[in-house]
Amino acid sequence: MSLLVLAAATVVEHAPGAHAAGGGNPAELLTQFGVELKYVIWQLVSFTIMAFVLYRWAIKPVIATMDERNAKIESGLKNAEATAVRLAEAQTQAAALVKEAQLQANKIVEEARKTSKEFSERESAAATERANALITKAQQAIALEHKQMLNEARGEIARLVVTTTERVLAKKLSDADRASYNEAAAKELSGV
C-alpha cells in the first residue's frame, strides 16, 4: 500500500498545478484520486479470504492429486524397470531352455539314428539268415527231387531195359530174371 501512496504522490507532484493546490498530504492525494482507504482494506481482506478459500479447496487438492499422480508415475516407472529386468531374465532363461531343449533334441535324434542303424543291421542280418535258410532248403529240396528223379529214371530205364530185352529175346522173362536184370541195370546206372 505504501507503494501505491508513493506512486500517487509522485504523480501529483508532477501534475501541473499540484503545488498551487497546496496539498502535499498523501491521504488528501488518495482522496483526490477517488481512492478510499476503507475500500482498499476491504478489498485486501476479500482477496485474502478468496486466496485462502482457493488454496484450501482448489489449489491444495489439485496439488495433492498431482503429487499422487507423480507418485503413481514414479511407481509405474519403477515397475516398468523391474518388469524390463524380469523380461530380460525371462528371455535369458528362455534362451537357456531353448538351447538345452535343442541339445536334448539332438541327443534324441542321434540315439534314434543309432537305434535305427542297429535295427537295420539286425534286420539285414536276419533277412540274410532267412535267405540263406531258404537257399539251403531249396538246395535240399532240389537234391531230394534230383534223387527222386534219378530213382524214377533208374526204375523207368530198368523197365525199358527189361522190356527191350524181352523183345530182343522174344521171350517172356520170369520175375527172378527180371529182378536180376533190373539190379544189374540199376548198378550200372548208379555208377554213371
CA 139 to chain centre: 60
Asked whether the beta carbons of 141 and 169 are under 8 A apart, the reply is no
For residues 114 and 1, give the distance between their C-alpha atoms in angstroms, rounded to a whole number. 103
Instruction: Please report the pLDDT score of residue 72 as a whole number.
Output: 94
Grid cell for residue 33: 484520486
Rounded distance, CA 142 to CA 150, Å?
12
Chain CA centroid to CA 136, Å = 56
Q: Name the grid cell of 186.
A: 540199376
Query: What is the rounded CA–CA span in Å between residue 131 and residue 135?
Result: 6
DSSP summary character for residue 34: T
Report the alpha-carbon angle 115-99-90, nearest 5.
145
Note down pLDDT in tens along the chain; length 192 residues: 555 556 655 655 555 544 444 456 877 887 888 888 888 899 999 999 999 999 999 999 999 999 999 999 999 999 999 999 999 999 999 999 999 999 999 999 999 999 999 999 999 999 999 999 999 999 999 999 888 888 888 888 878 877 777 766 656 667 787 788 778 877 877 765
C-alpha cell at 153: 529214371
